[in-house]
Amino acid sequence: MGAVTVGRILGVAVTVHPLLLVLLALAAAMGLLGQILVLLAVLVTHELAHLTAARACGLEVARVELLPYGGVADVRGAGRDPLVEAVVALAGPLNNLILLAASVALERAGWLAGPWVPPFQQANLAMALFNLLPALPLDGGRILLAFLRRARGPRQATAVVARIGRALAAGMVATALLAWWWWQVLAPHLLAAAATIWAGTGREERWVGVAALRGLWAKRGRLQRAGLLPVSRLVVLEHASLRQVAEAMRPGSYHEIVILGMDHRPLAELDEGHLLRGILSLGLDARVAELLELGE
């Protein structure tokens, strides 16, 4: 079952993950619908902050998907500067902390009251802290991934963050089970959070090749604007896939690709332009040897 489109915000399509719909149904059955609706409102402001920050940085947001404790924004321009990614990612948690501080100040001044105030404050605090965890698809995970990609390339960076995320998800499930075993306390929020991280990590791993392709395309634009980029070299065997080559590239560098035969003798030296044309013509799963057959 795919995400359900519910409308548009600032011209951007908004979809809801099926897990969030399940959580809403469970909350209604448990008499907690009011609290979940407050959480949903906080979630929308969280994603609006990401959207606003992305546009302020000159990026295009094609779609926003709402998850139980966060969201995923399809920001066009993968492989951009890690500092830009950090600004966009931090905008969501920062928005929640600002709303929390403002509501506390207004409450203490006697200008804000009502039964919805404590859930609103708790939801903002939980949203900020949870999204700063170093796991995908959370904001903390996106910041960590952005900086690791520069040093290790998309595939290795995603693998590192995926391991961290799955460890955190397993810990949440274990905590929920222990709470039920020892204190008979049901913690569906921990299970939903673990499911969010596990599903988001899997999706990121599946799309890492596509993200690498987007990075190649975006890098051409950065080179055109800046006029220069540092150069890195990759040495690959002819039986490697174009996906493997693209995923090994660092976003901040332009790559020269030295291709070796099975006897480790040099066959050719290409660059990112050749690789991009090969991916567009042959697909990500084609072999480097097929790229050589394309010629110029």
Count of structural domains, the chain: 2
Same structural domain for residues 173 and 235?
no
Which residues form the domain of 288?
224-294
Residue-wise pLDDT tens digits, 149-205: 877 777 788 899 999 999 999 999 999 999 888 887 777 778 888 988 998 898 888
Cis peptide leading into 137, omega within 30 of 0?
A: yes
Query: Is residue 75 predicted with pLDDT exceeding 80?
Result: no
Q: Quickly count helices (H) and strands (E) in the chain.
A: 11, 7
Residue-wise pLDDT tens digits, 23-55: 777 777 777 777 778 888 898 899 899 999 988
Residue type (1 letter), 291: L
Spot the catalytic one: 47, 85, 204, 272: 47
Higher pLDDT, 98 or 11: 98
Mean pLDDT of 280-293: 82
DSSP state of 109: T
Boundary (domain end) residue, out of 178, 213, 248: 213
Q: Does the active-site annotation cover 85?
A: no
Boundary (domain end) residue, out of 213, 245, 280: 213
